[in-house]
Amino acid sequence: MSEHAPEDTSGCIGETITERWCPECAATDIDRTVPAVEAVCTVCGIVITDLAATTVEPTPEPPDEDTAERAEWTDVYTVSDSTEQRLADAFTCLEALADHLKASVDLKLRAAQVYCDAALADLVDGRSTETVVASTLLIAGHDLGDAYPSRWVARELGLRERTLQRTTRDLTRTLDLQGASPPAGYLSFLRRELHLDATTEQQARGLLEQVVAETAIAGKHPASVAGAALYLSADGAVTQREVADAAGVTQETIRVRLREFREVLKT
């Protein structure tokens, strides 16, 4: 028996053993606290809506994580009505969008929780599934301190920016969730998108600590402020255009932020 699927010692030798473990990666670290779904694997992020005991033979071999193809979340769904079908479709969409955005497992799990809360609050009816799912990813990023610029997400996913922003605003207000991030919350995403190193990100955080409370900077578009800090810290490794594209703003906006930074840092 693999270490991921420990033997149930309550069974007799030679009998079929029943266990509860992830059907995708065989991990036993299962989160059963997510509303509207039975369980979520905290290792691979798969959503399990039917956590019936998994029946295995006395000497089963769980899937090899290095060679087995990752299953779609819908592979473990037991869909019994239209509501469950919509939920299954939403998580299929979440899987696809999260992969496109290179979202972490933690961020994907948080987005799944937000979607379930939104569904229970009747906030998904009449809305595009892709837009709602994209909104949950934005909100999850804010919650986890790894925020995505909404304009960048809309552009990457082919969504209408205003509709995405409005949906995100409706979800955050109704569910009483965090709807915005400070500039520092965008640094991790921007650093990855611009292919900069962790040292550059750390230097940018130091710059933000110096200027973020200044009148000339406070209240400005947070992703543009973070982008300007990274640009100054990168020492020519990226262009203003690249920073603007990643931050979801115009190049002129980045120029203005840079001018504000330099004025503040002179004093």
Q: Which residue has the tokens 């504000």?
A: 260
At position 117, the amino acid (one-letter code) is D
User: Is-same-fold flag (79-181; 184-266)?
Assistant: yes
CA distance 265 to 237: 21
CATH number of 79-181, picked from 3.20.20.220, 1.10.472.10, 1.10.1200.10, 1.20.120.1770 = 1.10.472.10
User: What pLDDT sits at residue 21?
Assistant: 61
Where in the chain are the domains? 1-72, 79-181, 184-266
pLDDT in 10s for each residue of the chain, 267 residues: 444 444 333 333 333 333 456 666 666 677 766 555 556 677 666 666 554 444 333 344 555 554 444 444 444 444 445 677 888 899 999 999 999 999 999 999 999 999 999 999 999 999 999 999 999 999 999 999 999 999 999 999 999 999 999 999 999 999 999 878 999 999 999 999 999 999 999 999 999 998 877 777 888 999 999 999 999 999 999 999 999 999 999 999 999 999 999 998 886
Beta bridge partners of 18: 55
DSSP, collapsed to helix, strand or coil, labels residue 47 as strand
For the chain, the residue count is 267
Enumerate residues 6+ apart whose C-beta is below 8 A from 216: 260, 263, 264
What is the domain class of 184-266 according to CATH? Answer: mainly alpha
| Whether this model's pTM surpasses 0.95 | no
Q: Which residues contact 177 (CB under 8 A, 6 or more apart)?
A: 114, 139, 142, 143, 171
Give the residue ranges of DSSP H helices in 71-181.
Answer: 82-100, 105-120, 129-144, 150-157, 161-175
